[in-house]
Amino acid sequence: MILFADSGSTKTSWLIFNPINGEKKIYETLGIYPTTHSKAEIVQKIASNQELLKLANQIQTITYFGTGCSSKERIGLVESALRDVFTQAKSIAVDHDVKAAAIAVCGKEPGIACIIGTGSNSVFYDGEKLTDSYAGIGYILGDEASGAYFGKLIIRDFLYHLLPKEIETFLIDNYKLDKDSIFRLVYKEASPNRYLAGFAPVLSQFRDTDYVQVLLQRGFTEFFDFHITCFENYQEYPIGFVGSIATIFKTELERVANDFECTLGKFVTNPINAIADFYIEKK
C-alpha cells in the first residue's frame, strides 16, 4: 500500500491508497514540526493513531510533505522517524509542505502557492519545480497572517488591555486567561505556535467587529508585502491558498488581493486528496 502525508504544525493528514482496489482512507495525528520536535516525539505522534499503526507493516511507499522540511538535517530526521514506524517501506520521499500546496492549488500549471494556517509560507511554482522565496522563517520572526500570528496579536492586546471589552470578556470566560498561564504556555511549554493559533477562532467569533477587520487587513497586507511581491511579475499568475485561515477569511483576503491587483486561484482547506490524486495519476 502507498502512504501520502501532509503535515502542518497543528495536524498531519495521512492517506493510505490501496492500488489493488483503488480504496483510499484518511487518518489524522497531531502536527509534526522537525524544527523543534525530536525523532522520538515524531515517532510518538505517528504512533498515537492506532488505526494507522495497525497498517504500518503493509506500507511499501511513502510520500511525505511537511512544515519545516526545508533542510537536509530536518528531512533526514523525519525520514528516520518514518522508517522506525513503517519498517517495511522500500521508498520514502520527504519534502516541504509548500510543494504539497503547489500541487494542490496549481496542479501542472504555473502559479503562486501559499499556505495560511497555523503558519504561513509561499512559493512560485512553474508547473514542475519550485522557486525559493523569502518565507519560512517561523512564527517568531515571520508567519504573517497565520493563526499563530493573529493569536500573538490578540494575546498581546489582551495583556496590554487594548482589546474591545466584549472580546476581552470572551477570552476570560472561554479561555480562562491570566498572565501566568499565558507566560507558561508561550515561554515554557512545547509547541507555543499551536497554542497561539488556538486563539484564531476569536477572529471568526468577532469577525464583524472593527478590531478583527483591522487585524485581518493588517495581517493579509503584510502577507502580500512579504510573501507575494517578492516574486517577479507576481500580478501575472494566479495565487492559490491552502489552510484554514485562508479559506475561512477568503472574502477579506480577496479584498487585499484586489488592492495589490492580484488574481486569486484555488482555495484548498486540506490538500491530502489532491496530493494523492496527482501522484496516482502519474503512475
Residues 252/256/259/265 CA torsion (nearest 10 deg): -90
Note if the pTM is more than 0.85.
no
pLDDT for res 263:
92
Count of residues in the chain: 283
Angle at 282 between CA 268 and CA 129, to 5 degrees: 65
So where are the chain's domains? 2-100+272-282
Look at residue 126 in the predicted model and tell me its pLDDT.
87
Report the C-alpha gap between 57 and 159 in whole angstroms. 49
Question: What pLDDT sits at residue 80?
Answer: 94
CATH class of 2-100+272-282: alpha beta
For the chain, which ranges sit under pLDDT 50?
A: none
Three-state DSSP at 217 gives helix
Alpha-carbon gap, residue 216 to 178, rounded angstroms: 25
